[in-house]
Every structure is written in C-alpha cells, then in structure tokens.
Amino acid sequence: MDKLTPEQRKKNMQAVKNKGSKIEHILQEALAEKGYAFTTNDKSVFGKPDIVFYEEKIAIFCDSEFFHGWNWEIKRNEIKTRQEFWIPKIEKNMERDVEVNKTLQNDGWFVLRFWGKNIKKNTSECVGEIEKVIWACRILR
C-alpha cells in the first residue's frame, strides 16, 4: 500500500524532472569546478546524454535508481501500487538504456552511467572516473 495519498503521489511524480535534475546538477557543477567544458542534454546525440564531451566522444548519463531499475530483482518486488504500470515502464527504461549504450558504443562513443546515490555520496569518485576516460580518449585520439 502506498504511504502517500493519491494527491501527494501525483504532486511528487509531477515534480520529477527528465533533465536538470539534482544529480545532474551535482555532477555538472563538480566537472565545471575542475574547468571542464561540456554540453548538457544534447538532443543531437542518440539517447540525449545528460553530459556530453564532444571532442572525446564521451556520453554520460545520471540515472535515478527508481526509474532506471537499480537492484531491480529486489526492488521490483517492493513496488506496491500500480505494478501493472510501473514494472513494464521501468523494464522498458532498462531495455532502452542497453540499446542507447550499444548504439553509442557502435558509433564510437564511450558511455558512462552513474547512479544518483553514487553521484550524491561519491561525487569526487565519479569525477575521477570521468577524468580517467577523458584523458584516455585524448591519448587515443
């Protein structure tokens, strides 16, 4: 049973952003502080990555745990309301993530995905991982 009333749940879901989320902002701000230039939410790149490094062909996605199926085998059983809607929706999101990764990789892009909780708790580690990929791409290209 949902702990929120239908009105509260509706208000919460309407507040969910598909771009410019808190986790995106945290990672973008940390990269900007390091002096990196990047593009955000570019529709011209397949999958519309949250952060794009064009020169290095790096696509970065900031995935929220709920909508992208973190720990899905366990979490799918915790969905108590509107299972007929949420389970297929999240599974479709997960399938799309795999398709986006494969398509970008086949087009020569390096794809990084970070879970929201990891961005919040370990921002510097996420930035470090991105920096390693940036420098590896610069050496290889």
Band of the pLDDT at 76, cuts 50, 70, 90? confident
What pLDDT is attached to residue 27? 97
Of 2-11, 32-41, 62-71, the poorest mean pLDDT is in 2-11
Q: What pLDDT sits at residue 108?
A: 95
Ranges 37-46, 52-61, 75-84: which has the least confidence: 75-84
Query: What is the residue range of 121's domain?
Result: 20-140
Q: Is residue 10 a part of any domain in this protein? A: no
pTM as predicted: 0.84
The CATH number linked to 126 is 3.40.960.10
69 φ, ψ to 5°? Answer: 80, 40
Does 76 map to a domain? yes
Among 69, 76, 62, 78, which Cα is nearest to 25's?
62
Q: Is residue 14 part of a domain?
A: no
Residue 53, classed as helix, strand or coil, is: strand
pLDDT band at 34 (very low <50, low <70, confident <90, very high): very high
Residue 86 lies in a domain: yes
